[in-house]
Amino acid sequence: MNDPLAEEIVRLRAATPGCAQVIHFNHAGASLPSQATLDAINAQLLREATSGPMEAGVEGARLQEQARHWAARLLGTDSAAIAFTSSGSAAWGMAFGALGGWGAGDRILVGRHEWGGNLACMTQALQSGARIEVIPCDESGAVSVTALERMIDSHVKLIALTWLPANGGLINPAQAIGEVARRHGIAYFIDAGQALGQLPCDVQALGCDVLKGAARKFLRGPRGTALLYIRPEFMARLKPTQLDVLSAPWDGHAFTPRNDARRFETSEVSLALLAGLANALKEAMELGIEGIYQRIQALSLPLRQALGQINGLELRDLGLPGQQSGLIAFTLEGWDVFELKQRLAESGINLGANGTAYTPLDMRARDLPAIARIAVSHLNTAEEIDTLLKALRTLANERRQTSTSTSNP
């Protein structure tokens, strides 16, 4: 296997307490943080408890700016374009809410794989007469750039894309969509929740105005942290619906929203979590996102093939084989996916299970009530994959034998 990180992984796993406790394939839900990330969080909490919480804010603010520096490097931008929020959905909602000014006939074009939380936000615009329209997919199930181009007219005010959907391995053509958006001068929002830390993510190349993602997934940051990028030239278009003394400081005459992305931050945050985030981002950047991506590919390709050989297991990923992410969606004959997840958890194996709510347009279009989801990260090993496959084969046989014995009394 072409794996530039092979030697690093032993060290990384030893430095991650969760790796000794569970076989974790739920990195798309949230990954396992390193001990150093936990230490950074605890150190800030301890400083707050011993020096005084506000007094410890000086060091906390320094670490927050370190996190911003690494986040900017991750995305290929400047620190001023980065805000931190508590979740990916909060980031998206704030940016969308700040667009404002929706009117009758305005059109929002979305990919079929759009994250449910983003769709929930967009429904607010419907009250003003705007419409949400789904861009058709190509034969591989990805958002069709040609179909998008045909839909463009002067009423299109926003293109929203979930780059890597939550319900499988599809990688949408985010950059090609960005080219269309730029050419027509249309606002372009990317949900990069499953992309951050999994594959290279350069906001200049993507051509987006807004990009966001939680840090708890492939970046291995703490829960409750997320990144929001705003293209500097787009900043003035966004009027935050909520302001405070940080996002709109008093200048002696008025409260004026800041010119940088921190117009979306709040004055009170968990500096401990941001200290942890600084460490997680630094670790990911020092390892190199391209290397992480290569390793995820090297692990997930053969896993997909082996899963396809299990009787009764159906892969549910969209996208072209060989060009998919580390998220692998499947169903197993005879098993409710939530029950399957529970049974595997009893053997110390974590995976995800999603119903329709997270990706409602796509799940309904494919008539899929739910999927089980294996999310491979660079932390996983070939041995863990073997254990997972063995467990799935056993469970597949268990149900097939039960159904054979009940149908042949």
Ligand X SMILES: Cc1ncc(COP(=O)(O)O)c(C=O)c1O
Q: With respect to ligand X, which residue has the nearer C-beta, 115 or 189?
A: 115
Residues 32-71, interacting with ligand X (CB under 6 A): none
Q: Which stretch binds ligand X (CB under 6 A): 44-52, 86-94, 152-160, 312-320?
A: 86-94
Window contacting ligand X (CB under 6 A); options: 85-93, 306-314, 329-337, 360-368: 85-93
User: What distance, in Å, lies between the first and last C-alpha atoms of the chain?
Assistant: 48
Q: Which is nearer to ligand X, 212 or 295 (CB)?
A: 212
Rounded-to-integer distance, Cα 142 and Cα 316, Å? 14
Contact 235/219 with Cβ under 8 angstroms?
Answer: no
Q: Which residues, in sequence order, are CB contacts of 178 under 8 Å at separation 6+?
A: 188, 190, 205, 206, 207, 208
Least distance CB 392 / ligand X (angstroms)? 23
89 binds ligand X (CB under 6 A): yes
Q: Binding marks (x or -) toward ligand X, 301..340, rule CB under 6 A?
A: ----------------------------------------
- Asked whether position 194 contacts ligand X by CB under 6 A, the answer is yes
Nearest to 66, CA basis, from 349, 315, 363, 276: 276
Applying CB under 6 A, among 37, 162, 297, 377 the residue interacting with ligand X is 162
Produce one character per residue of 279-292: b if its CB has 16 or more CB atoms within 10 Å, e if not: bbbbbbbebebeeb
Q: 134 φ, ψ to 5°?
A: -95, 130
Torsion, Cα 286 289 294 299, to 10 degrees, reads 90
DSSP state for residue 340 in the 8-state scheme: H
In the set 117, 168, 326, 352, which binds ligand X (CB under 6 A)? 117
Contact range with ligand X by CB under 6 A, out of 38-46, 82-90, 232-240, 333-341: 82-90
Note whether 191 binds ligand X by CB under 6 A.
yes
Query: Does 88 sit near ligand X (CB under 6 A)?
Result: yes
CB of 327 to ligand X, least distance (A): 8
Cβ nearer to ligand X, comparing 176 with 214:
214
**Residue 175 contacts residue 209 (beta carbons within 8 Å):** no
Assess contact for 351 and 373: CB atoms under 8 A.
Answer: yes
Per CB under 6 A, which of residues 216..235 are in contact with ligand X? Answer: 226
Shortest distance, position 194 Cβ to ligand X, whole Å: 5
**Residue range at the interface with ligand X (CB under 6 A); choices 81-89, 96-104, 230-238, 377-385:** 81-89
What is the phi/psi pair of residue 123, to 5°? Answer: -65, -20
Q: How far is the CB of 7 from ligand X (least distance, A)?
A: 31
**Rg for the chain (alpha carbons), in Å?**
22
User: Among residues 225 and 395, whose Cβ is nearest to ligand X?
Assistant: 225
Structure tokens at 55: 């007094």
Alpha helices in 158-231 (DSSP H): 174-184, 203-206
The answer to whether residue 193 forms part of the interface with ligand X (CB under 6 A) is yes
Cβ neighbours of residue 216 closer than 8 Å, sequence gap 6 or more: 30, 31, 222, 223, 224, 225
Out of 19, 166, 278, 371, the only residue in the binding site for ligand X (CB under 6 A) is 166
* Closest separation in Å from C-beta 286 to ligand X: 24
- Residues making contact with ligand X (CB under 6 A): 87-89, 115, 117, 162, 166, 191, 193-194, 214, 226
